[in-house]
Amino acid sequence: MANQFATAINCMDGRAQKPVTEYLQKNFSVDYVDMITEPGPCKILSEGHDTTIIESIKKRVEISVKKHGAQIIAVVAHYACAGNPVNDDAQQQQLQKAIDVIHSWEFPVKKVIALWLDEDFKPSIIN
């Protein structure tokens, strides 16, 4: 059987990489996670101002989906983000808007999820 991939649009914060990878591997039975990192990606995607970075994220997601066959895309935000220094509620609202942006790209994937990392960097899906 071919290796299974997921794509994570994650914060560049080094504390966020391992828990997201482990969560996606455990809960979605993937072997590998293509990690796309930016400081505060939910802010970037939800606000839509920095089109250069947004297009770069989209291109990297496209490579993951088309070349690696990723079927899950996760957008990640976390507690006390230095790149997006707003409160948790604001970040989680941005995260939901970011999910809408990802859906608008219409990649042929099974699922797009919003992952929140709490103060212990424990991931959970938010709706």
Say how far apart CA 116 and CA 52 lie, in whole Å.
25
Q: Does residue 50 register a pLDDT over 90?
A: yes
- The number of beta carbons lying within 10 Å of the beta carbon of residue 45 is 24
pTM, two decimals, is 0.95
Tally of structural domains, the chain: 1
Tell me how far apart the alpha carbons of residues 12 and 37 are, in angstroms, rounded to a whole number.
5
What are the beta bridge partners of residue 35?
Answer: 8
Handedness of CA 73, 79, 84, 86 (dihedral sign): positive
Q: What is the number of alpha carbons within 13 Å of residue 10 lying toward its C-beta?
A: 22
Q: Give percent of the chain with pLDDT exceeding 90.
A: 97
Query: Domain range spanning residue 86?
Result: 5-126
List pLDDT tens digits, range 53-104.
Answer: 999 999 999 999 999 999 999 999 999 999 999 999 999 999 999 999 999 9
